[in-house]
Amino acid sequence: MAARARVVALIAGQGEGDINHTATRFAVHATDLGIMWRDSRGRVAIAFGDTYGVGWGGQGAGPETADWRFNTLAFSTDTDLTDGLSIDSMITDRPGHAAQLLGHDPGVSEASVIPTAAIATGSRDYLHYMSVRSWGTGGRWTTNYAGLAHSDDGGQTWVKPPAARWPNQGGGTGFQLGAFARADGWVYLFGTPNGRLGDARVARVGERAVGSPNAYQYWTGIAWEQGGIDRAAPVLPGPIGELSVQYNTVIRQWIALHLDEHRAAIVLRTAPRPTGPWTSGEVAADGAEYPGLYGAFLHPDSSNSSVLHFAMSRWDPYHVRLMALSPLLVRHRMTDPA
């Protein structure tokens, strides 16, 4: 059996291996996700989901009275990940307090606003986010819509244009959770329906049009078709939760990491093209070893490495760790195609 991912250190929240002390530095006592991208200023930006401060309950999210923020954003210039990922700074609204980036939409019933993917083009940063209407159980929840927020000032302020949204269509093609990747002059957006049980589909767009959902071309199984979201074909069979995708220059393959709700594991899958065929996947991190694991978001430098570094969340105690998975080249040779 191939080696599993190992813990390097804590990125945010509280627990063993806490190298960033986010509780005392930024009032981040507990948080999840940790979506990473190379931002418009050359830093590694790290977007977190629901974040709690003083009064956090000690297990899972909440309570809401514990200095709750829907999302927060950190930055790192650390290039040596062997001892962890050091956070240099966070977007703050006062000294020592990480700020909420994306808030409520007026008149919309929202349980939270959660980042799911991010990318920078030129001097603009984009966050793909989901407007969560209600949380469910067993990997299910309901969104109002997914959208693209953008920042032109290095993440200090964000705009959520109403035109940059994908409505929740109630089916499998809504792109309610996303994963951005860049290759061959295109920006690819992999999308799944709300929850963790659906298939993934893929769209592409030119870098200058990332913020315009109408410009995206969807893979139908035969061709790329602009405006063809209703005909978008599954490329990664589910169940897929919190997907992260990169093209890896070492093995010259596309790489995907995601939660498999049925296996209670983070799985690694590869493909020669974003449209597939994708391997069925092997376990990279097992829920038997890390109970309540979810979210596996690749570090941008992993695209040129045989070692994959990624952020992984755990519900209990509700924090984000940096994980390392290696050697990728050997794993690729051992993985059978789907």
User: What is the predicted pLDDT for the residue at 2?
Assistant: 56
Position 88 pLDDT exceeds 70: yes
Position 6 pLDDT exceeds 90: yes
- For residue 41, give every residue at least 6 positions away whose Cβ sits within 8 Å of its Cβ, in sequence order, or none: 154
Q: What is the chain's mean pLDDT, rounded?
A: 94
User: What is the predicted pLDDT for the residue at 172?
Assistant: 62
**Rounded CA gap, 294 and 136, in Å?**
16
Could you give the residue ranges of the DSSP H alpha helices within the chain? 22-26, 328-334
Least confident of 96-100, 144-148, 169-173: 169-173
User: What is the predicted pLDDT for the residue at 1?
Assistant: 44
User: What is the predicted pLDDT for the residue at 28?
Assistant: 98
Length of the chain: 338
Residues 167-201: pLDDT tens digits? 997 766 679 999 999 999 999 999 999 999 999 99
pLDDT (mean) for 234-257: 96
Position 27 pLDDT exceeds 50: yes
Say if residue 234 is preceded by a cis peptide, omega within 30 of 0.
Answer: no
Reported pTM: 0.96
pLDDT (mean) for 77-106: 97
Cβ–Cβ contacts within 10 Å for residue 221, how many?
Answer: 12
Position 270 pLDDT exceeds 50: yes
**Which pLDDT band, with edges at 50, 70 and 90, does 259 fall under?**
very high
Position 45 pLDDT exceeds 70: yes
CA-based nearest residue to 219, from 194, 202, 205, 196: 202
pLDDT (mean) for 114-137: 97
Position 330 pLDDT exceeds 90: no
Position 35 pLDDT exceeds 50: yes
- For residue 116, give every residue at least 6 positions away whose Cβ sits within 8 Å of its Cβ, in sequence order, or none: 35, 128, 129, 130, 146, 177, 178, 179, 242
Position 129 pLDDT exceeds 90: yes
User: What is the predicted pLDDT for the residue at 169?
Assistant: 79
Domains in the chain: ranges and CATH: 6-334 (2.115.10)
User: Order of strands, edge to edge, in the sheet holding 177-183?
Assistant: 177-183, 186-192, 201-206, 217-219, 224-226
Q: State percent of the chain over pLDDT 70.
A: 95
Half-sphere exposure of 151 (CA within 13 A, CB side): 20
Q: How many helices (H) and strands (E) does the chain have?
A: 2, 23
User: What is the predicted pLDDT for the residue at 338?
Assistant: 46
Position 328 pLDDT exceeds 90: no
Half-sphere exposure of 50 (CA within 13 A, CB side): 20
Position 306 pLDDT exceeds 90: yes
User: How does DSSP classify residue 51?
Assistant: B
Per-residue CA distances from 221 to 136, 203, 224, 250, 278 (Å): 31, 11, 8, 27, 13
